[in-house]
Amino acid sequence: MATLPLYPEILVAIFLCFLFLCHWRWSKTRTITNWPIVGMLPGILQNLSNVHEYFTWLLKHNGGTFEFKGPWFTGTNTVLTSDPMNIHHICSKNFLNYPKGSEFQEIFDVLGDGIFTSDHDSWRYQRKLLQTLLKDNKFKLFFEEGVKGKVEKGLIPILDYVSSLGIEVDLQDIFQRFTFDSVCLTVLGHDPNCLSIEFPKVAHSKAFDELEKSLLYRHFVPERWWKLQKKLQIGSEKKLSDAWKVLDEFVNECISTKRDELTLKKEELKFNLFTAIVMEEKEEEMNGNITKSNKFLRDTATNLLAAGRDTVSAGLTWLFGLLAAHPLVEAKILEEIKEHLLDNGKSKDLNIDELSKLVYLHGAICESLRLFPPIPFNLKYSVQSDILPSGHSIRPNTRMGYSLYSMGRMESIWGQDCLEFKPERWISERGGIVHVPSFKFIAFNSGPRTCLGKDITFIQMKIIASTIIWNYRVHTVESHPVLPRFSIVLHMKHGLKVRISKRFV
């Protein structure tokens, strides 16, 4: 009797093995069938390499909301939507009925009890704490100077070096190195120096890539299947465990070092989020010792590192991929930089006020994020029964998925030119930024869980983008394939291989 609960999963495993053995005979198809026992999973597996495009097709042909039927007894049935009104309902109007939920927390166990996985009081506490710190002028100045310093001492020397040699370089790799250094400085006050001419191998940075692939895999297979792999330490779960260990060793070492600094060198402390969080705890004695525990600090740091490294680097990669394919857009950004950021032929200091004048660049960034949102898919769970604005009935504990990637490709939301890269759609007749509701442009999420780092993301992207566009020409390598990677973050599968040359010699 002890093995009876696993019986459906055994049937699924046998059936899936059969499907994979026959896979070479299949051609990709966009039809989806609700099979006995395995449900619609074979259709997803057939299209896993282009799963976001597949979701987009399904949603377009089902009025913007689609009910996925998973294998029997596995609890993977999911209501998938790209309907803005449904998303507004889920993320704002009926927010309390759609928390992350325990299932989400199990999938993203590597993030611990951080802000991205927590709910209720724990989430509110962490959000309030981080919101206070991020709004502090001391933090804004620290962040701005840190990004500009990394541009001057890291990014420019590398781009000068590769341009002088005329060699190919993976711009995605450069951006990931930049943002990892930057976020480590911001959060932990530690610069791992990933961004250098030597292009050193950095295990804790690469660990993120492996974690992201494995975490997305968990979304598409039955829970007991990946938990069995985890128990046996095989397949993607073995890779996840190894990457998790590498990441934890790095974060815990940084925490230990910072604790020593807090104890021994209070008068010499430099600002960073880790220090600010601990000092905030000491000053206000908020919630006892919660922020003093290593687990809290580890979870907070891991969540912030994941957000700061991958979302910004992915956003920059797709932006430059699009600019390389749209030289007229790049030319307009160049004219804007020349008009607002030059004084008698010399570059002005890139502060927040000056960057706010780059309206067309802002529009280009928004347009890139619309088409290629760094987090292409989000998941929640219902608490009670509900009816969505689309009319779909939701039962308790229903998996709710919304596709950010698909939303950018819906004519019903953006018009017939939805697939075109047009920064102009973000600019008003008076030359200002057009406001678009967050449940329509959802790259930074919507409602109470709207991304706290939205403003600093734009600052960082504008500093990096304006520096590169003004000083260098970026050409993608001919015939280089540009495809999304299978990951919870929308990286490019093969990177962004480019050649770089100086604009002014």
Model confidence pLDDT, tens digit, residues 304-318 = 998 888 899 999 999
**Per CATH, is 4-502 categorized as 1.10.630.10?**
yes
- How far is Cα 130 from Cα 342, in angstroms, rounded to an integer? 35
How do residues 163-191 score in pLDDT, each as one tens digit? 999 999 999 999 999 999 999 998 888 88
Confidence band, pLDDT 50/70/90 cuts, at residue 286? very low
Block residue for tokens 């790095």 = 250
What is the average pLDDT across 292-301?
83
SS3 assignment, position 453 = coil
| Of 12-26, 229-243, 399-413, 453-467, minimum mean pLDDT range | 12-26
Residue 11: its pLDDT value, please? 47
Residue tagged 């530690």 (tokens): 190
**pTM of the predicted model over 0.85:** yes
Contact between 443 and 378 under an 8 Å Cβ cutoff? The reply is: no
Q: Return the H-helix or E-strand segment holding 223.
A: helix 223-232
pLDDT in tens, 317-335: 999 999 999 999 999 999 9
CA distance 118 to 111: 10
163-166: Cβ within 8 A, 24+ apart: 163/472, 163/500, 163/501, 163/502, 166/499, 166/501
Please tell me whether residue 394 adopts helix, strand or coil conformation.
Answer: strand
Does position 198 have pLDDT exceeding 80, yes or no? yes
pLDDT of the residue at 1: 36
- Sorted by sequence, the CB contacts under 8 Å of residue 112 that are 6+ apart come out as 295, 298, 299, 302, 303
Q: What is the pLDDT of residues 228-248, one digit of tens each?
A: 999 999 999 999 999 999 999
Across residues 461-481, what is the average pLDDT? 93
Amino acid at 106: E
| Cα end-to-end distance, the chain, whole Å | 77
Please report, for the chain, the start and end positions of each structural domain, with discontinuous segments joined by +.
Answer: 4-502
Q: What is the pLDDT of residue 174?
A: 96
> What are the CA-CA distances from residue 8 to residues 74, 103, 108, 255 (Å)?
8, 20, 25, 44
Q: Nearest Cα to 499, choosing from 470, 476, 482?
A: 476
Pick 182 or 262 by higher pLDDT.
182
Whether 264 has a pLDDT exceeding 70, the answer reads no
